[in-house]
Structure 1
Amino acid sequence: MSDWRKTCEEEWRLHGAPMPDGRDWKSVYELRPLGRNLLKNPAPYGLSKDVSPPEPDLPDQPSRGPPQSQPDGDFSGWTTSVEVLPYDRSGIPEGAVVCALPQFSWFTMEQVVDLKAEGLWDELLDEFQPEIAVQDWYEESQLHRSIYQLQVKLLAADGSTVISQHVDAPAEDRDQYSHTWKEVSHVFSGYGPGVRFVHFQHRLKNSFLNSFFLTRFTDSSVTVRAVATGP
């Protein structure tokens, strides 16, 4: 066994995991595919879950111009899109005069992690099937009962076949306001052979009523852990 292969096995506790000959284990070690967050730009607002999210900035005067639907920030590494939602008129009595209604929108951010490009190898993913842990933190913005959605898919080599997936859409208790970070997490295990990509997508709700109010996120992560879950 080469020194670099032995180093990978010992440091990542891969005893019993398939580690084929002929692989450049020095390059694998330098990529550090196990235990490292594989998402790019996991905190584009420059915030941390260890510090309370900032309070909303309430302007002295209403914003002028068209409603804003997308937050400002550096979202490099993410593919983003906006879905502007119809005005919600539920609960408004017929004939009532409404001066203004909030305009809600979903801001979607997604990334695809190429597990082999990050240093993992076929035999490890297919036979050892290490845990794939997903974690995210979103702001309790109180904008709406539904402000956050998560969808994570484990994909095959063709980039479209779904081998396993996890969906989460928590409902907020608007009677209990604490304005904290809320955790969403999931661990994939025993998912079967063939996984080569992780598609991470979350959506956060924003609103516009005289000014723009957003729901932030931070410290998103996709981590492969050296825990055997295969057959």
Structure 2
Amino acid sequence: MKVHTLFWISVSSLLVCTMSASEWKKKCEEEWGLQGAPMPDSVDWRLVYEARPLGRNLLKNPSPHGNPLPESDFDYRTRDGPPPREPQGDFSGWTTSTEKLPEKKTNIPPGAVVCSSIENSWFSMEQVVDLKAEGLWDELLDEFQPAIAIQDWYKAIQLEEHAFELHVKLLGADKSTVISEHSVQPTEAPYTESATWKMVSHMFSSYGPGVRYVHFKHRLKNMFRDGVGADFFQTLSSDSSVIITPNHPPVTPTNTSLSLS
């Protein structure tokens, strides 16, 4: 007995399978607004289109401290149980490190009993984005130099004047040559209760040829208070992004606040 297997293929899928190299190239050009950009025939435009390197966030796990804004209501203080001593969150996709800071010294009268101590630390999170691995090509990066938009949201512990830093570098093929860089270190108003997330951003453009990697790093200050009233105060980050766009939209203000209260 013969067994016949039937396969159903949609018209759209059939068209995709039969598209020529030039048609894939035209599809990329039209959908991403690449008119005038160098688009050599040596590039596999189907793979580029499927990778979709333009207009999407190239960072992995962009919201390590909870849901993206404004839905997140994650509190920077631990409310239940004993306080942790280390940052809490999902840090997959990030390289992390902790820098302990010297304990602050205060004038303590002779014979006084110290009931608590305070330990500050910087918690660093960083990623390196390989632009070519994400689907971009040499000629686009070197000649057309598409805009590279950087954005980050943070919620400071409000106990320190400097609780957040963002450092971004555009690197060459050797991962060590810095072609362009941008850093921001906002100043906070300490000891003020706030449920405000703040956004920092920057747009790289006309940065010169040779860029192949984006090194994205932010430093978040945390505070552990031991003894009486023990607690852990944590600076949070959310919605970090590195987005490549062929257009050059206006730069978003570099100090924007969003109140969640």
TM-score by length of 2: 0.79
Contact 2:65 2:74 (8 Å CA) reproduced: no
Structure 2 equivalent of residue 120 of structure 1: 136
Superposed CA RMSD in Å reads 2.0
Q: Residues 228 and 211 (structure 1 numbering): CA distance in 2 closer, same or farther, change over 3 Å?
A: closer
Q: Residues 102 and 53 (structure 1 numbering): CA distance in 2 closer, same or farther, change over 3 Å?
A: farther
Structure 2 equivalent of residue 76 of structure 1: 92
Give the secondary-structure state (helix, strand or coil) at the position aligned to 2:49.
helix
Aligned residue identity for 2:78: D
| Counterpart among 168, 177, 198 of residue 161 in structure 1 | 177
Give the secondary-structure state (helix, strand or coil) at the position aligned to 1:7.
helix
Query: 1:68-127 CA distances to partner (integer Å, 9 max, x unpaired)?
Result: 1x21332111000000110122xx336374432320111100000000000000000000
Give the secondary-structure state (helix, strand or coil) at the position aligned to 1:218.
strand
| Counterpart among 88, 101, 109 of residue 95 in structure 1 | 109
Structure 2 equivalent of residue 147 of structure 1: 163
TM-score by length of 1: 0.89
Structure 1 equivalent of residue 51 of structure 2: 31
Contact 1:12 1:34 (8 Å CA) reproduced: yes
Query: 1:151-195 CA distances to partner (integer Å, 9 max, x unpaired)?
Result: 000000011000000011101023654321110111101100000
Q: Give the distance between the partners of 1:148 and 1:190, measured in 2 at CA.
A: 27
| Counterpart among 243, 246, 250 of residue 226 in structure 1 | 246
Aligned residue identity for 1:38: L
Give the secondary-structure state (helix, strand or coil) at the position aligned to 2:246.
strand
Aligned length: 222
Q: After TM superposition, give the deviation of residue 44 of structure 1 in Å.
A: 1.8
Give the secondary-structure state (helix, strand or coil) at the position aligned to 1:104.
strand
Structure 2 equivalent of residue 200 of structure 1: 216
Contact 2:78 2:231 (8 Å CA) reproduced: no
| Counterpart among 39, 60, 63 of residue 40 in structure 1 | 60
Q: Share of identical aligned residues, percent?
A: 59
Bigger Cα Rg = 2
Q: Residues 35 and 25 (structure 1 numbering): CA distance in 2 closer, same or farther, change over 3 Å?
A: same
Matches within 5 A, 1:168-207: 168-174=184-190, 176-207=192-223
Q: After TM superposition, give the deviation of residue 48 of structure 1 in Å.
A: 1.8
Aligned residue identity for 2:222: N
Q: Give the distance between the partners of 1:3 and 1:108, measured in 2 at CA.
A: 44
Higher relative contact order (CA 8 A, sep 6+): 1
Q: Give the distance between the partners of 1:143 and 1:95, measured in 2 at CA.
A: 24
Q: After TM superposition, give the deviation of residue 31 of structure 1 in Å.
A: 0.4
Contact 2:38 2:144 (8 Å CA) reproduced: yes
Structure 2 equivalent of residue 6 of structure 1: 26
Q: Give the distance between the partners of 2:98 and 2:186, measured in 1 at CA.
A: 20
Structure 2 equivalent of residue 57 of structure 1: 78
Q: Give the distance between the partners of 1:202 and 1:80, measured in 2 at CA.
A: 10
Q: Give the distance between the partners of 1:120 and 1:191, measured in 2 at CA.
A: 16
Q: Residues 133 and 228 (structure 1 numbering): CA distance in 2 closer, same or farther, change over 3 Å?
A: closer
Q: Give the distance between the partners of 1:43 and 1:72, measured in 2 at CA.
A: 12
Aligned residue identity for 2:159: L
Query: 1:8-29 CA distances to partner (integer Å, 9 max, x unpaired)?
Result: 0000001100000121101000
Aligned residue identity for 1:16: G
Q: After TM superposition, give the deviation of residue 49 of structure 1 in Å.
A: 1.6
